[in-house]
Amino acid sequence: MRIYARRMVGARRRSAQTLYADSEDVQLLTYAGHVAGSPIPSSPTSYEPYDSLKPNRNRSYQSRNSKASLSDMLQNATDSVLKRAGSLSLPNLTRNNSDARTIFVNNPSKNQEQKFLHNRVFTGKYTVFTFLPKFLYEEFSKYANLFFLFISGIQQIPGISPTSRWTTLVPLVIVLIITAVKELVEDWGVHRSDAKANATETTVLEGDTFRKKQWKDIVVGDIIRMESGEFFPADLILLSSSEPEGLCYIETSNLDGEVNLKIKQALPQTSKKTSPLQISNLEATITSEKPNNRLYTYDGTMSVVDDIGKVKDIPLTPDQLLLRGAQLRNTGWIYGVVVFTGHETKLLLNSSKKPSKSSNITRITNRNILFLFAILVLMSIAGAVGDLVTTLRAGNERGYLALEQTNLASQFGYDILTFLILFNSFIPISLMVTMELVKYVLSYLIDADLDMYYDKTETPATARSSSLIEELGQVKFVFSDKTGTLTCNQMEFRQCSIAGLSYADKVESDRKARDDNDPSGLYTFKQMRQHLDSHHSSSIIHEFLTLLATCHTVIPEMKGEDKQEIVYQASSPDEGALVAGAKSLGYTFHTRKPNGVIINIHGVDYVYEVLNVCEFNSTRKRMSTIVRTPDGKIKLYCKGADTVILERLANDNPYTEDTLVHLEDFATEGLRTLCIAMREISEEEYAQWSQVYERAATTLKNRADELDKAAELIERDLFLLGATAIEDKLQEGVPETIYTLQEAGIKVWVLTGDRQETAINIGYSCKLLQEEMSLIVCNEESLEATKAFLENKYHEVKAILDRREALEPLALVIDGKALTFALEKEIEKVFLDLAVLCKAVICCRVSPLQKALVVKVVKKYIPAILLAIGDGANDVSMIQAAHVGIGISGVEGLQAAQSADFAISQFRFLKKLLLVHGSWAYQRLSKMIFYYFYKNVGLYLTLFWFAFFNGFSGQTLYESWTLASFNVIFTFLPPFVIGVFDQHASARTLDKYPQMYMLGQSNFYFGQVRFWGWMTNAVFHSAALFFIGVWAFADDGTFRQGWLGGHWWVGTTIFTATLFAILMKGALVCDIWTKYTLIAFSVSVAIWFIFVPLATLIGPYLNIFQEYYGIVPQMFGNLNYWLYVILVPLLCNIRDLSWKYYKRMYRAETYHVIQEIQKYNIPDYRPRMDRFKLAVNKVRKIQRLKQNRGYAFSQSEGGQDKLIRAYDTTSTKPAG
């Protein structure tokens, strides 16, 4: 045995180069401290338990564990082999305590000594202690805030600032306070959801009774009683349940996205303890692996003291593990002992802290601020150099200034600081406040949009993070969950084909059958009941419905006060739908016994003895039961995918062709199909075959393969009864939404935990996959095979593109195992290159961690905005990894919605959220930010030009409080209304022409070329306004009584003209004028003309505005003033108007044409190719369906025969 172990170690080490397992390398949430309940690790490598026989595909993981001695590895391997061989020696976990935690059942004092982690969950961004440092760090990582902090500091130095020392600090503090309040409000919502989860109650064993306890108070070692429908509060080991042999059903859609129920089973040694007293007397010790993020594996040992006092070690497997976030379903109650709590549970180890996200526009704005800061420094240096030159050249001539007495070097430095302060609003601090206010209003518009209000649940759309709203207008990739996001988690039996005739629950009038034998028409289920009595196919209909009621693994439960309501417990929702469909047609399955089932057919009970079950698996793609009917005959009932059933039919099947046509019709409608067949077996044949089956069932080597071979012997010469069609009901509007998103240039990837066949079926149903697409399916089993497959496919596609040949649309389908390899560093780029060439991508059987990793790989290589959408806890990591996360408030709970940036209640609302609100937000904010930069540069450059005329003395052209009020009073409203109300197209137009969305994807409105265009325009306007003013007022103004205009008269006149030019420019760039736009621009003008007289009036009393003393009559009563403030701004904007006219008339963009169509309401004359496309797609669809058609199995593989043999629904279940 030792030699065998050494060979096994060598084999595993060689194969480890091509295998892979999740490790802490790809863990999104790093648990920093040492794991409670174990010695402090000497190095980070001890975080993951090393199992020498477990497949490990992470090379770096191996290298980090290379410090372990070879003898230790051999010892561990030997122990594992001995354990698997049935030896009673302790498993590997108990030999090395550093790789395990020990949990004492019903011994709280010993568990407390180990100081396990508490069960409180915290997913918020801030705490009371971390808020201030984290918030300030994030805010001052923004260049604008850092710059204004610097300016505020130097303004406090006496004799440096030409303005008040508070003009920068006060606005900066206001900005920080507003942002802090917004952050606190958003994070408070996360804290409330955490508090709600922590305060949820469950029942915990105390002594020999169960008492209510909050989730946060649960500790490792507690025994918990859970009831059907409840979510597990921690990771548990199943001890017993209300079901036979300790079985229970759980749903893990929150963890892996799968809606089919999974079966868990307690150990035989604990499954009989079904009362509080019995479970309180359990003496056991659990040696468990350390916390890790692997959802599908678990290693542990339970040491149980038996009735004679002997300790027995029983291995624990994933069959006994119940994970936090999973839900108990169709099971009365269970007892479980807690092994992992809080942030050490597998669910939370697959999650991540809510990251700090900033939008692309914010990042570009920060970059543009750097450019402006560089220009500002150059302007300040130029001003200081000018002052130095003036001092050297004219210092003696201007003795009254005492220039010769200054230290030139220190004066040069002071001059730079003076000009930095003078020009500091060149970078507008109020821009940040305006951006936050505009984003808040735009978020409110999303919240208040009735088109995105779901009245069934009374749930509105919610913008949980206003800082990312403009990202919605630039999305290039959408990563979507399937279950609960695209589908409703509801399976319904819709249609079937029996004896060449097609039946449906609802039939449209134009598709009704013309007579009693019309294969091309549709009959209703009501007509099927009539055919069952009098039609020539009545015997076949009877066999068909009998098969649906007997060939399954469903367990019936009687519910209700009178125990008359039947509830079906099905591991597969498809099976539940078929059994429920048979019940609706009069064949009611109501009792299961270990050796048979009882079916009520039209009021009469019939007992069918279940002799054998040939189980479903992904290779067989079918399931069979051999039953003895009430009349004593032996029949084989088989259901499965058409590809495997059709090749096992006898030669004389009269209904094959008609059934194939019906199958194609079903699949065309997106329904999931199964073929239904049977054969009668003689007693002699069954006796011979049963011996073969028994030998296969008892073999110790390759049992599953032997059972499959035995099934092949009996599943032959079948008679085709017909086919079933089940609808995996999509959410309303999903196909239209996906089609529209694709038209908008958005690539949609579906990341699901479901099986490949299910995912492909849903892909066709929701129009993600289309008939003309070629599927690239990757199901490779090793790293080398995956790499070779992806590279070959990529080179094939690239070669076609290089030859400029026509390439039909492609779709990539990859399963979780192959995806694990594809995400390795050496081939992730090839995987991404191939995926990007495909119109659609579906990743199946993926873990929550893999979802996040796919998003991160795309984010790593492609500079595009990524959006992730999901509704379960398994989607949280993906949502947080994307630039924009959207949670759906669905049936799987609110975990995704609470962790997302935006929350909607239906997938179809994503269309308006992106194409309308996203496009508007991106276009509005882009225009508003550039307009803000323009107006500040335009005004403050006039001060720079003035420096050339005042000897670079730092003298301002405008009164200081007027200058300070420019952004916050005079020009606050215009950019605000542009940011809130401007529209480049209406909502209806954006929905009608989704291609308009591509403007955001290409950053059309916020590119660097546009930025420098706006800045150039600002330079032109400022130069025209200032130098025309200098020319016009070169001789100053002379008024009555000998008054001269002077410095402040000229400065105020130029300020008025600059203000008017800026307002005209704002009016010119508006795409739509609303009443609010008119009010904003009119009020801005009125405020200025009210401000000046008011300042003149109250100035003498407050000892401010002294520059305005007596200025009003000289301005408002002077013709030159009115000519200048009207004509010069008009002259500046005539150039802009001419350019705008030229572009629209001679160099029109696509959106210009759309705007014209909208304005004049021009009918849409685009040719309609719908009928032609439908005909072509029908042909392509039939060709595709003949090669590959989805089938409706999604149940767990293996253990089905054992499951149904364990149940006797006539027996009374323990109360627990």
Contact by Cβ (8 Å): 719, 649 = yes
Share of the chain above pLDDT 90, in %: 40
**Per-residue pLDDT, 979:** 95
DSSP state of 696: H
Task: Assign 1197 a pLDDT band (cuts: 50, 70, 90).
Answer: low
d(CA 573, CA 576): 5
Q: What is the mean pLDDT of the chain?
A: 82
Task: Assign 970 a pLDDT band (cuts: 50, 70, 90).
Answer: very high
Q: Which residues are annotated as a binding site for Mg(2+)?
A: 481, 483, 871, 875
**Per-residue pLDDT, 44:** 35
Q: Which stretches of 448-524 are DSSP H helices? A: none
Contact by Cβ (8 Å): 30, 48 = no
Task: Assign 865 a pLDDT band (cuts: 50, 70, 90).
Answer: very high
Averaged pLDDT for residues 363-388: 88
**Per-residue pLDDT, 41:** 37
**Per-residue pLDDT, 394:** 67
Is the pLDDT at 653 greater than 60? The verdict is yes
CA within 13 Å, CB half, 615: 20
Averaged pLDDT for residues 859-863: 92
- Mean pLDDT lowest for which of 177-186, 439-448, 531-540, 784-793? 177-186
**Per-residue pLDDT, 1111:** 80
Share of the chain above pLDDT 70, in %: 83
Instruction: Give pLDDT tens digits for 741-758.
Output: 999 999 999 998 777 777
- Specify the residue for token string 């010069």: 1128
Q: Which residues are annotated as a binding site for ATP?
A: 481-483, 575, 616, 639, 672, 752-754, 845, 851, 874-875
**Per-residue pLDDT, 354:** 66
The verdict on pTM exceeding 0.85 is: no
Task: Assign 409 a pLDDT band (cuts: 50, 70, 90).
Answer: confident
Q: Which residues are annotated as a binding site?
A: 481-483, 575, 616, 639, 672, 752-754, 845, 851, 871, 874-875
| CA 1058 to each of CA 325, 935, 1070, 1083, 1128: distance values in angstroms, whole numbers, following the listed order | 62, 9, 19, 16, 9
**Per-residue pLDDT, 683:** 93
Instruction: Give pLDDT tens digits for 829-853.
Output: 999 999 999 999 999 888 878 888 9
Residues listed for the chain = 1216
| CA 114 to each of CA 36, 39, 903: distance values in angstroms, whole numbers, following the listed order | 7, 10, 41
Nearest Cα neighbor of 693 from 627, 611, 592 is 611
Instruction: Give pLDDT tens digits for 84-137.
Output: 333 333 344 444 455 688 999 999 999 998 889 999 988 788 888 889 999 898
Averaged pLDDT for residues 987-1010: 93
Task: Assign 67 a pLDDT band (cuts: 50, 70, 90).
Answer: very low
d(CA 762, CA 416): 66
Nearest Cα neighbor of 967 from 468, 442, 424 is 424
Is the pLDDT at 218 greater than 90? The verdict is yes
Two structure tokens written together for 1130: 């008009």
**Per-residue pLDDT, 571:** 72
**Per-residue pLDDT, 633:** 94
**Per-residue pLDDT, 748:** 93
**Per-residue pLDDT, 404:** 54
Query: pLDDT higher for 202 or 641?
Result: 202
Contact by Cβ (8 Å): 175, 435 = no
Is the pLDDT at 938 greater than 90? The verdict is yes
Nearest Cα neighbor of 505 from 488, 526, 491 is 526
Task: Assign 697 a pLDDT band (cuts: 50, 70, 90).
Answer: confident
Instruction: Give pLDDT tens digits for 583-620.
Output: 999 999 998 888 889 999 988 999 999 999 888 876 78
Q: Which stretches of 268-310 are DSSP H helices? A: 268-271, 276-280
Two structure tokens written together for 432: 């940040």
Is the pLDDT at 890 greater than 90? The verdict is no
Helix (H) or strand (E) holding 420: helix 408-422
Two structure tokens written together for 710: 């035995």
- Mean pLDDT lowest for which of 553-562, 651-660, 1179-1188? 1179-1188
**Per-residue pLDDT, 641:** 85
Averaged pLDDT for residues 1090-1117: 81
**Per-residue pLDDT, 1068:** 94
**Per-residue pLDDT, 1044:** 64
d(CA 253, CA 237): 19
**Per-residue pLDDT, 1009:** 93
Query: So which residues are the catalytic ones?
Result: 481
Highest mean pLDDT among 132-141, 766-775, 1004-1013: 1004-1013
Task: Assign 431 a pLDDT band (cuts: 50, 70, 90).
Answer: confident
3-state class of 1213 per DSSP?
coil
Structural domains in the chain?
2-96 (no CATH), 200-349 (2.70.150.10), 462-486+731-904 (3.40.50.1000), 487-729+1191-1206 (3.40.1110.10), 907-1166 (no CATH)
Strand partners, 248: 264
Burial of 478 (0-12, 13-18, 19+ CB in 10 A): buried
Is the pLDDT at 9 greater than 50? The verdict is no
| CA 1126 to each of CA 179, 941, 1112: distance values in angstroms, whole numbers, following the listed order | 39, 20, 17
- Mean pLDDT lowest for which of 90-99, 428-437, 668-677, 907-916? 90-99
- Mean pLDDT lowest for which of 222-231, 352-361, 951-960? 352-361
**Per-residue pLDDT, 138:** 84
User: What would the DSSP string read from start to end of 120-183?
Assistant: -----S--TTTHHHHHHHHHTTSHHHHHHHHHHHHHTSTTT-SS-TTTTHHHHHHHHHHHHHHH
Nearest Cα neighbor of 1054 from 1096, 1115, 995 is 1115
Residue type, 552: H
Is the pLDDT at 399 greater than 60? The verdict is no
